[in-house]
Amino acid sequence: MKKYYIKTFGCQMNVYDSHRIAGILDNMGMQEAAAAGQADLIIFNTCHIREKATEKLFSDLGRIHQIKQERAAAGKNTFIGVVGCVVQAEDEQIAKRAPFVDFALGPLTYHRLPKILENLFCCQGQTIIDTEFPAESKFDFLPENHSNSGCSFLAIQEGCNNFCTYCVVPYTRGIETSRPIKNVLAEARRLVNEGTLEINLLGQNVNSYHGEDEHGKERNLAYLLHRLNEIDGLQRIRYTTSYPADVTDDLIACHREIKKLMPYLHLPVQSGSDAVLKAMNRRHTAAQYLDIIARLKEANPDLGFSSDFIVGFPGETDKDFEKTLNLVDQVGFIQAFSFKYSRRPGTPAADMSGQIEEKIKKERLSILQDKLFSYQLKFNLASVGKTVPVLFETKGRHPKQLCGRTPYMQNLYAEADKNLLNKIIRVKIKNATTNALSGEIAE
């Protein structure tokens, strides 16, 4: 029996894709290997969002090449595949810099893996590269999604039409497509039957979802959330990542009406300066963003927000940056991801004048992160003493310890028997740091 090993970089969509690729390989009678060195097939699922990610891929591939050579010396074949967003953008680079790679597939063509592998296993040959934006949807060709976890991802939408001037995603994932309601519900029901309690709906721009219903009518995310809400046994629903300008009134209302919807929303704003937002081609101002937050809070006062920020975008002045700090003070995000602007070849911002020095980017990032972390810590400290439902997802670092998530996506560690894995258990929070909570089982 052949063994496979998949290493995943990048966002939750890539984690989901890797899970679906594992499904293809399981279906072909393969088995997951514990380490790359024991695998007949090694797959890297890659991310192109920032410069460092690509360089890291090539250095990791160098190490994998070594494994391939060591195994070859012991008379064993190793096949190496690269999939994901780097392939879509840098297929020629991969062929040039890593000719030992056997196949490279973009994020929209990995459903073609079975044929490619059958050929490879029988007759090897030249590197196969497939970066087509296919007419067919990969979801119609993948084997059914299975999960043995209490918490599952479910992709409902892929691609992005927003073309923020710094971002590669519209080029790597293509234009927006949505899966039909029927297929999403079937996948959700299957996951719940297999023990999933929480579903996290995924899309690069998830709230622009516009899938067809059973009668061919286009439906939005709010409609889909109401349909998912009807699934018995499903206890928690999340969705990510949302685009502020596409937050509709009926989606806001879902946060009042649907109790299964967790009180945490990731809503990237990127900057607090209207001049920078405009140069980024974001379809919202800072004031509009704050208004959306206010309306969401009105629908559910318990909502906590997280966001993404970019500092050092071309032309960003000290004044612009201050406006970002100001916006953070106004929202008080309970979690956030912040990045130095990374120049991506082929995107409009890469050619803009006013590129910011690395030193200034670094300074701004450190100031912003200090502020973001202080709000995160404040929120976590305010949780101490509360008893909250935690979905235990993994084993902790210590024996007898489990790690799970609170409704607010906080990581929580507790001493707990492993039979509580994949269950929702009430936990009394005892301690908090910026990144995690610890607590005691309360029931």
Residue 47 binding ligand F3S, by CB under 6 A: yes
Residue 49 binding ligand SAH, by CB under 6 A: yes
Q: What is the DSSP string of 137-150?
A: -GGGTSPPP---SS
Residue 57 binding ligand F3S, by CB under 6 A: no
Q: Which residue, 68 or 266, has its beta carbon nearer to ligand F3S?
A: 266
411 binds, among ligand SAH, ligand F3S, ligand SF4, none (CB under 5 to 8 A by kind): none
Whether 369 contacts 338, CB under 8 Å: yes
Residue 48 binding ligand F3S, by CB under 6 A: yes
10 binds, among ligand SF4, ligand SAH, ligand F3S, none (CB under 5 to 8 A by kind): ligand F3S
- What is the rounded CA–CA span in Å between residue 402 and residue 396? 4
- What is the rounded CA–CA span in Å between residue 407 and residue 379? 13
- What is the rounded CA–CA span in Å between residue 62 and residue 56? 10
Residue 169 binding ligand F3S, by CB under 6 A: yes
Figure out which of the listed residues 41, 80, 85, 349 binds ligand F3S, where binding follows CB under 6 A. Answer: 85
Nearest to 7 by CA among 74, 56, 76, 77: 56
3-state helix, strand, coil in the chain (%, to 5): 40, 25, 35
Element (H, E) at 104: strand 103-105
- What is the rounded CA–CA span in Å between residue 51 and residue 173? 17
**Beta-bridge mates of residue 270:** 309
Residue 342 binding ligand SAH, by CB under 6 A: yes
CA distances to 5, 23, 332, 382 from 2, in Å: 10, 14, 50, 50
* Count of H-run helices and E-run strands, the chain: 12, 19
Q: Which residue, 205 or 406, has its beta carbon nearer to ligand F3S?
A: 205
CA distances to 141, 195, 387, 407 from 49, in Å: 27, 33, 38, 28
* Least Cβ distance, residue 336 to ligand F3S (angstroms): 16
Figure out which of the listed residues 11, 33, 142, 350 binds ligand F3S, where binding follows CB under 6 A. Answer: 11
* Least Cβ distance, residue 349 to ligand SAH (angstroms): 7
Q: Which residue, 68 or 179, has its beta carbon nearer to ligand SAH?
A: 179
Residue 209 binding ligand SF4, by CB under 6 A: no
* Least Cβ distance, residue 222 to ligand SAH (angstroms): 19
Contact residues: ligand F3S, CB under 6 A:
10-11, 13-14, 47-49, 84-85, 168-169, 172-173, 204
Contact residues: ligand SF4, CB under 6 A:
160, 162-164, 167, 169-170, 204-205, 243
Contact residues: ligand SAH, CB under 6 A:
11, 49-50, 166-167, 169, 204-205, 241, 268, 270, 308, 310, 339, 341-342, 344
